[in-house]
Amino acid sequence: MRLCAWYLYGEKHRGYALNPVANFHLQNGSVMWRINWMADTSPRGISASCGMMVNYRYFLEDTASNSAAYLGTKQIKASEQVLSLVSQFQQSSKL
């Protein structure tokens, strides 16, 4: 879960989220809300993402400012759950 959070939040291509689905939702002003363990136990889900899935949440009053922040400064809005997993990854990682 920590590695997944880092991949979605921290791995970048030209400053934007490396994952194309994350990049799509973040460009549209969402918040990276929650990472779910074993949310997709189908063979494809296990193969593609070890069964993990992420929820993106749209707060309508914040979508324009979130989108502008992401597109302008490449700042990703994320929940405490996601940020906590990113922090745990950074503390234990040798990257």
- The DSSP line for 17-33 is ESSHHHHHHHHTT-EEE
Confidence at 41, pLDDT banded by 50, 70, 90: very high
Q: What is the mean pLDDT of the chain?
A: 96
Contact by Cβ (8 Å): 90, 6 = yes
Could you tell me the residue ranges of all domains in the chain? 1-92
Model pTM score: 0.92
Q: Is the pLDDT of residue 95 over 90?
A: no
Burial class (CB in 10 A: 0-12, 13-18, 19+), 51: middle
Percentage of the chain beyond pLDDT 70 is: 99
Between 2-10 and 80-92, two packed helices, what is the crossing angle to 10 degrees?
A: 100
Question: Using 50, 70 and 90 to split pLDDT, how confident is the model at 94?
Answer: confident
Q: What is the DSSP letter of 39?
A: S
